[in-house]
Structures are given as structure tokens and as C-alpha cells.
Amino acid sequence: MIEIRLRQSWINTFLNCPEQARQERYKLVEQKESSDLLRGNAVHAAIEFAGGSPSVVELEDLHQLAEDYVRTYSSEVEVWRHEYDKLLDTVMANLSVWYSELYILGATRAEDPLLPAASVEEPFQKSLGIRGNVNLILTGTADWVAEDGVIWDWKNPSRFYEPWEKKRWDIQSHAYCYALDKTEFKLCVLANGQLQIISINRPKEWRDAFVELCWSMVPTIMSDAETWPQNWSGWHCSPKWCPVWQAGKCRGEHLGENPW
């Protein structure tokens, strides 16, 4: 039996660009640590602490935890897209809006109530089925599974998302709802101290379609092709965001670091 493991984030990479996914899967390139990742990880660390605490946590404690996180891991950042102080201000603002509008109000919110966490940072692995001699396994980690069964995920981008786009083709909500056998997924977007909540439902027919999407990748994964198809369309295909380009491969081999 051949076991193929698919992480939710890697599925997104494959759909954006199969060749980038191949190079990352076989560790030919690695995503550089960036200030964007540091911002999101700091907020995640503080929220994870609050979710796992048996009692209410003070905002000042979350701010201190996040500040310590940024200070500790800032030395690992290879690509700075924000000044240190500006990044820290954004982390604090994002935590403040999460704390005041979600954490403290909790179940009393008229819309999108946040119930206490039944689990925080819950890892999962679930089979997507066995076909022939292949067992396809989905893996990932859910940020916050509330007591009412709603899955919450925290995002820290630079701007809000388009809700209709996320509801139509967001992969993460499909993956988590399939793996945890849930239907309701809430995307909590924290951007520059403002809050956006996108509610997404993934009933069985949507999850079944997701399974077929995953299996459609298997022939490419199992092939002995030296390269997989490249996808040039989209913001991700640029020296700013793509580790393959940054490594001087694919388009980067021909166009260099500053093609525009």
C-alpha cells in the first residue's frame, strides 16, 4: 500500500502552481521566513494561549505574550516587508479587536458568537479513501474548534477578503470540515486592527467534491516527471512571493530578481 499525505496548505500551493508544490514537497526549495508570517504567528500564539486557558485572560497578558514572540523570532525573518515597530503595532491592534469583539463578548454576540474552545491547534489526519494501492491521507491543524462544533481560523492579511470568493472556492474550509466531520467554518480576518468574519458552510456534497479534487492530484504526484506544470497567472508567480523564483529556477532562471 502506498501512502500519500496531503497537507491542506500544500493543496493550495499545488492549485496555484504544481511545479512550486513539487519543489516544496521534495524540499528542493523552502519558503523564506517573512514579516508577514511573523505577524500572523504572533497573533496565533496569543490566541492559542487564550483558548487553552481555563480562566479569562487579560488583554495586557496577550499583548505581552505577542510582543515577546515577535522579539524572540524576529531574528529568523529573512524578508522584511514592514518596519519592526509597524509590525508590532499591527499585531497589538489585531489582538485588541479580537479580544474586545470576539473573546470577551463570546457567546453573547448577536452574530457569529465565539464559544469557548473544545480544542485549540488540533492536529488531524484523515483518510480520503483507498483507491487501488493508494491510501490518500489529509493532514492539518485546526486553530479553534468551538464547543458548538464551529471551526474557527484566524487570518492576519493586509486587507479584507472578498466573501463570495472564499465561499465559492476556499480550500481550507473544505479540508477542515471534511477532516473533522463538521459543516460550519468561520474565517476570522484580522487586518490592521479591523475584524471581518466570513461564515462558510460545507455540507456533504461540497466535501465529496473536495475528495475528488484531492484524488485528481494523485497521478501527477505519482508520476516520474522531472517537472510539473507551471502556472504563471496570479500574484503568487513573482520574485516577491515564490520561493522557486527566488531560488533562480522556473521563470527566475531567465527573468532574474527584478523583471518588472
Q: Where are the domains of the chain?
A: 1-28+114-222+239-248, 31-104
User: Contact 91/126 with Cβ under 8 angstroms?
Assistant: no
**What is the CB neighbour count within 10 angstroms for residue 46?**
28
pLDDT of residue 255: 93
Percent of the chain with pLDDT over 70: 100
- Reference 136, options 200, 71, 204, 211; nearest CA is 211
For residue 48, the model assigns a pLDDT of 97
According to the model, what pLDDT value does residue 86 have?
97
Distance (Å, rounded) from C-alpha 219 to C-alpha 178? 22
pLDDT in tens, 215-228: 999 999 999 999 99
> What would the grid cell of residue 26 be?
521534495
The CATH number of 1-28+114-222+239-248 is: 3.90.320.10
The pLDDT score that the predictor gives to residue 175 is 98
pTM metric for this prediction: 0.94
pLDDT at 260: 87
- Rounded to an integer, what distance in angstroms lies between the CA atom of residue 136 and that of residue 121? 22
Residue 234: burial class (beta carbons within 10 Å; 0-12, 13-18, 19+): exposed
Decide if 252 contacts 239 (C-beta within 8 A): yes
What integer pLDDT is reported at residue 209 of this predicted model? 98
Q: 194 φ, ψ to 5°? A: -120, 155
Output the CA–CA distances (angstroms, integers) from residue 110 to 92, 105, 226, in the order listed. Answer: 25, 9, 54
Kindly report the number of other CB atoms within 10 A of residue 183's CB atom: 16
Beta strands 194-201 and 151-155, pairing class: unpaired
Q: Which residues of the chain, if any, have pLDDT below 70? A: none
